[in-house]
Structure 1
Amino acid sequence: MGRRPKVFQEERLMAIQALIDSRGRVRVEELAETFQTSLVTIRKDLRQLEHEGRIIKAHGGAISKAAMSAHVTFEVRKTKNKTEKQQLGEKASELVAAGDVIFIDASTTTAEMCPHLRDVEQLTVVTNSIEIAYLLGTTACCNIVVMGGTVKRETLAMFDLETAASFDRWRFDKAFFGGWGYSVKDGLTDLPGIIVHQKRQIAARSLVKIALVDSSKVEKGSLDTVIPSKDLDYLITNADVEPSFLNAMQRLNTQLILA
């Protein structure tokens, strides 16, 4: 009898890991409700799973190792769903007008906008991406402003508190964001940390907020919301999304653009 609690705990740990792996990331509250146990117990379980190298703990919950692997290198992510990303980039570029001051987020999807901006007159692009600055510098005649900071190798982006503070002087006509996922419930989401804080600051300084999310990331929740659904002006995704998602989007003010 004395060994039963340990058996039950291991069964719960396996079930928790399976749930995290299937969803990519899960909040502590969701786990406590699913397994009918306390937040304290779930946090203890997550510490154990992280200690064993089975998941990655994050603020408010946990992330699967598989989800994190999708963010390992810029070059790997750039080739994933390449055609779909190109379609989104072309659609997004149609929203850019002459004389705009825009922000383009460091993302392999938003980077696909660059070839389509070469003929936009008097355009100013602010970015935190080395890759996007390079692509625009070789294909377009726009003014390019690169935010400073520490380069993150996985994304070729610059993210730190110093960079975030430098956004104070900017006001953007439009801001184009990538992200880890989008869901009707959570909005545009990304990995926890300074990246989310910085994106929120940019969104607050933008008249129009636009998210580019390929269909593989639709209805994929995350731990941290960048822009809630109610505050997002446009969502650009691929036409092969589920009909149930299209129906849910009709209840929002967000304009859905299918590529």
Structure 2
Amino acid sequence: MTAEESGTEPGERNRPARRRAEVAEYILHHGSVPAAELAEVFGVSVMTVHRDLDELERQGVVRKFRGGASAQPSSVFESNVAYRMRTAQAEKQALAAYARTLVEPGMAVMLDDSTTTLALARLLPGLGPLTVATNFLEAIKLVSSEEGIRLLALGGEYHHAHDSFLGVPCIEAIEALQVDLLFASTSAVSPTHAFHQEQEIVLVKRAMMRSARRSVLLVDHAKLERTALHRLAPLTDFDLIVVDGHTPESGLRALRDHGAEVAVAPL
């Protein structure tokens, strides 16, 4: 173990943890970074950078590739929630604003653990009385103190990378409910199917769809014409697909030609 890793000097014991947090923040900000750049920026060896990246990958913050690391999603890796919070913000706000028009007082609404539906959660205060069910910790904290909103927190095993609760207990909590509307998003959408990289999240989203009278999928244009490892559901299983105004006409036509009901949220 090197001196920089051992932290033997007073006040130095937490230096590797602090550096890894700073490395994570740097990668989340830039999206994708070579290891050599990280070594130069943080004044450590490339070997130390790779040890940091190994730990950050274990935590689900980044994924390593030959010569560096990325916070961006792939067909088998879903981005950390901190990275997803930063991306497509204008599109998510437009999708949330459209989704808000579908919510009426007295409804029971379910939100998945996507950052897109978190944007909707921010718009729900003032629409009550509402019942809101969600497994997303950030959304739970957001609506927990709002007057007029009855909160049903869908518990389970907490996953730090997603800041949400998953697993069998979460699915059982979902299956005990019947809500009026589900608002969900996912990481990849082809003209025929919705996809996600992680099996546990797919199982939770499917349970949510079964527990809702109507299911609405909110997706920004960057997620279209993409696939991931696991099929979530055919798009026709959703009552409505809402896309943002930057979606090309060819993308809209492909969705509609395969039978999906599509609405466009203006930006």
Is TM (by shorter chain) over 0.5? yes
Count of residues in correspondence between the two structures: 198
- Provide Cα deviations, 1:165-190, integer angstroms capped at 9, x if missing partner: 222210111101111111212x2211
Code of the aligned partner of 1:251 = D
Aligned to 1:83: 90
Code of the aligned partner of 1:74 = V
Instruction: Give the Cα–Cα distance (whole angstroms) in 2 for the partners of residues 111 and 146 of structure 1.
Output: 14
- Provide Cα deviations, 1:195-251, integer angstroms capped at 9, x if missing partner: 111111111121111111111111111222222112111111111212222222233
Code of the aligned partner of 1:237 = V
Q: Find out whether 1:194 has 2:200 as its counterpart.
A: yes
Aligned to 2:36: none
Matches within 5 A, 1:67-146: 67-68=73-74, 71-138=78-145, 141-146=148-153
* Cα 1:192/1:72, change in 2 over 3 Å: closer
Aligned to 2:172: 165
Instruction: Give the Cα–Cα distance (whole angstroms) in 2 for the partners of residues 95 and 122 of structure 1.
Output: 14
Q: What SS class does the counterpart of residue 198 from structure 1 fall into?
A: helix
Aligned to 1:23: none
Aligned to 1:226: 232
Q: Find out whether 1:153 has 2:160 as its counterpart.
A: yes
Q: What SS class does the counterpart of residue 182 from structure 2 fall into?
A: strand
1:137 Cα offset (Å): 2.6
Aligned to 2:222: 216
1:155 Cα offset (Å): 1.4
Code of the aligned partner of 1:223 = L
TM-score with structure 2 length normalisation? 0.68
Preserved CA contact (<8 Å) 2:188 2:195: yes
Identity, % of aligned pairs?
A: 23
Instruction: Give the Cα–Cα distance (whole angstroms) in 1 for the partners of residues 165 and 187 of structure 2.
Output: 17
Q: Find out whether 1:239 has 2:235 as its counterpart.
A: no
Q: After TM superposition, which residue ranges in structure 1, 4 or more long, deviate above 6 angstroms? A: none
Preserved CA contact (<8 Å) 1:115 1:139: no
1:122 Cα offset (Å): 2.0
Instruction: Give the Cα–Cα distance (whole angstroms) in 1 for the partners of residues 263 and 147 of structure 2.
Output: 25
Instruction: Give the Cα–Cα distance (whole angstroms) in 2 for the partners of residues 131 and 99 of structure 1.
Output: 23
Preserved CA contact (<8 Å) 1:71 1:154: no
Preserved CA contact (<8 Å) 1:125 1:143: yes
Cα RMSD between the aligned structures? 2.2
Q: What SS class does the counterpart of residue 118 from structure 2 fall into?
A: helix
- Provide Cα deviations, 1:67-125, integer angstroms capped at 9, x if missing partner: 25974432221011111111111111111111111110011111000222112222100
1:153 Cα offset (Å): 0.9
TM-score with structure 1 length normalisation? 0.70
Q: Which runs of 5+ in 2 are unaligned?
A: 1-63
Instruction: Give the Cα–Cα distance (whole angstroms) in 2 for the partners of residues 128 and 232 of structure 1.
Output: 20
Code of the aligned partner of 1:226 = L
Preserved CA contact (<8 Å) 2:182 2:216: yes
Instruction: Give the Cα–Cα distance (whole angstroms) in 2 for the partners of residues 129 and 193 of structure 1.
Output: 17
Q: Which runs of 5+ in 1 are unaligned?
A: 1-52, 56-63
Q: What SS class does the counterpart of residue 102 from structure 1 fall into?
A: strand
Code of the aligned partner of 2:180 = D
Q: Tell me which of 226, 232, 257 is aligned to 1:251.
A: 257
Preserved CA contact (<8 Å) 1:190 1:196: yes
Aligned to 2:46: none
